[in-house]
Amino acid sequence: MLEIIQNTPIWVFILFVFLVFLGLLQTKDKKLSINKILIFPAIMLLLSYLGVVSAFGFDIQSNISYLLGLGIGVYLSYFFKIPRKSTYDLKEGLFFIKGSFLPFYLIMSIFLLKYYVGVVTAKELEFIHDLSFVVLISLFYGLFSGVFLGRLLVLLKIKKGKDN
């Protein structure tokens, strides 16, 4: 374990600290414009998909698994109305989003998953090419990012006045 940490580039630790900070910001109540709300899911989708592509390439199994996970994540967010207790103020043009640890957990999950895949790739472990590994990792990348995308869709639905 110490060898893994010692061989980790310094930028990974800097990124980790930044992501912890970003995740902890999500635990506070806030008012945000639609433009600011769009940025976060877009970044998480991009980073998670790049994680899939960098680990497995553009193969059909990883892409289908990623899309399936994405769909499940969107469904779960939509079904459970995540983020809960959010509102939209038409006059201000801002969303009120109740703080939650869920985004923190999702950010950390994506980071740790990417770190894990990076370690097993660097160590050239055989199982990285197993179909079950490719499918499972891609599914998790999609699931975590799908929750972020689902949160965005829930907020857009609130804005349209269909759900409060």
The pLDDT of residue 134 is above 70: yes
Residue 163 is predicted with a pLDDT of 46
What is the mean predicted confidence (pLDDT) over 118-147? 95
What is the mean predicted confidence (pLDDT) over 13-28? 96
Residue 17 is predicted with a pLDDT of 98
Residue 2 banded pLDDT, cuts 50, 70, 90: confident
In sequence order, what are the residues at sequence separation of 6 or more whose Cβ sits closer than 8 angstroms to the Cβ of residue 73?
142, 143, 144, 145, 146, 147, 148, 149, 150
Pairing assessment for the beta strands 94-97 and 87-89 based on DSSP bridges = antiparallel
The pLDDT of residue 162 is above 60: no
What is the mean predicted confidence (pLDDT) over 49-56? 94
In sequence order, what are the residues at sequence separation of 6 or more whose Cβ sits closer than 8 angstroms to the Cβ of residue 130?
none
CB 138 within 8 A of CB 65: yes
What is the mean predicted confidence (pLDDT) over 66-76? 98
Residue 121 is predicted with a pLDDT of 92
The pLDDT of residue 36 is above 70: yes
- Rounded mean pLDDT of the chain? 93
Element (H, E) at 31: strand 30-32
Residue 83 banded pLDDT, cuts 50, 70, 90: very high
Residue 1 is predicted with a pLDDT of 80
The pLDDT of residue 84 is above 80: yes
The pLDDT of residue 143 is above 70: yes
Percent of the chain with pLDDT strictly greater than 90: 88
